[in-house]
Amino acid sequence: MPRILVTGAAGGIGTSLRKLLPPIYPDLLLSDINKPADLGKNEEFKTADLVDLAQVEAICEGVDGILHFGGYSIEGSWDQIHQANIIGCYNLFEAAYRKGVKRVIFASSNHAVGFYPRHHRIGTDVTARPDSRYGVSKVFGEALGALYADKHGLKVTCIRIGNFGEVPLDHRRLSIWLKPEDLVQLCRIGLENPDIHFEVFYGASYNERAWWDNHRAYDLGYRPTGRAEDFREHAFAEQAKLKSDPVGDFYQGGAFCSMEFDGDTGRIVDWKK
Ligand code: 15L
């Protein structure tokens, strides 16, 4: 029975995974910088600050696979991103290597490629186009994953998560929605599939409006059960409450693109004409 470490266990995705993973991986070690308030009696938890390599090594001891959801999950100041997502991510891969962990699943993000326009369909092999310091940190994490896979034989899967949740929240999320159970499927492929060396998947359910070619995940057995269009009316009703955002509505990364934007608006063309 593999022992699986989940970092970021107190965060949004971590909290959901704490409920979904135990039937599949009963030997689960949860970690975060702070203990979750609702920690159950049967849950094993160790506190660790990702910035401290010794603490990260301690949680990697005896572990077979890591689901790395720890770090900063939105745009932040350079210091916040640098500490949690650059130093923290380096420490995670280095500690995994030193402690002989076999597989790492890295929670990357759609914001690694957020500056691709929405009408541009992309695969996982495109040049990075991060839309934020947060997005840059995800490109860095994917690069670290490739390095540890190629140089040290760690089996690494990066999941460029779209928007994780029970329902798609707005028009943009109809293209990038990820149902929690579908994330679990992608994690299982990364933890169990014998053909993994280094892979990048999009973390998206079966979304008819998808901007992403996710065929590699499907080739390795991914069969998402979530269908964004089933929530179309809800998403459109929520979208109607939002202000228009010419930059964010043009690019895949949405509001992460318009945040602090003082770039070339001439690049925003009406492609539907
Ligand atoms: C992400 O990567 C964030 O972690 C999440 O908070 C959402 O903003 C999501 O992307 C998104 O693009 O909707």
Return per-residue pLDDT of the chain as tens, 273 residues. 899 999 999 999 999 999 999 999 999 999 999 999 999 999 999 999 999 999 999 999 999 999 999 999 999 999 999 999 999 999 999 999 999 999 999 999 999 999 999 999 999 999 999 999 999 999 999 999 999 999 999 999 999 999 999 999 999 999 999 999 999 999 999 999 999 999 999 999 999 999 999 999 999 999 999 999 999 999 999 999 999 999 999 999 999 999 999 999 999 988 776
CA–centroid distance, residue 233 to ligand 1 (Å) = 21
**Chain-centre distance for alpha carbon 170:** 19
Closest residue CA from atom 7 of ligand 1: 163
Strand partners of residue 34: none
The span from the CA of 94 to the CA of 70, in Å, is 15
To test the pocket of ligand 1, the residue of 132, 161, 171 to mutate (highest count of ligand atoms within 8 Å of its CB) is 161
Token pair of 16 as six digits:
């959901």
- Give the up-direction half-sphere exposure of residue 21: CA atoms within 13 A in the CB hemisphere: 29
Q: What's the rounded Cα separation, in Å, for the pair 173 and 63?
A: 34
Ligand 1 center–CA 161 separation, angstroms: 8
Distance 172 CA to ligand 1 centre (A): 11
Q: How many angstroms does the Cα of residue 162 sit away from the middle of ligand 1?
A: 7
pLDDT value, residue 245: 96
The residues carrying an active-site annotation are 134
Ligand 1 pocket: which of 74, 131, 207, 258 to mutate (most atoms <8 Å of CB)? Answer: 74
**Residues making up the chain, counted from first to last:** 273
Q: Which long-range contacts (CB under 8 A, 24 or more apart) does 38-44 make?
A: 43/18
Burial of 241 (0-12, 13-18, 19+ CB in 10 A): exposed
pTM recorded for the entire structure? 0.98
Tokens of 95: 């500690």
Closest atom of ligand 1 relative to the 173 alpha carbon: 13
Q: What angle do CA 127, 129, 132 make, to 5 degrees?
A: 150
Measured from the Cα of 73, ligand 1's closest atom is 4
- Indicate the burial class of 246 (C-beta count within 10 angstroms; 0-12, 13-18, 19 or more): exposed
Point out the ligand 1 atom lying closest to the alpha carbon of residue 138: 2
Q: Which residues line ligand 1 (CB under 6 A)?
A: 73-74, 109-111, 161, 163
Sign of the alpha-carbon torsion through 187, 193, 196, 201: negative
Please tell me the predicted confidence (pLDDT) of residue 271: 74
Q: Where are the alpha helices (DSSP H) in 99-203?
A: 133-152, 171-176, 180-192
Residue type, 181: E
**Cα separation, 50 vs 88, whole angstroms:** 4
Torsion angle of the four alpha carbons 252, 104, 16, 221, in this order, in degrees rounded to the nearest 10: 70
Rounded CA-CA distance 105/154 in Å is 10
**Phi, psi values for residue 88, rounded to 5°:** -60, -40
Q: Check residue 273 and give its pLDDT.
A: 66
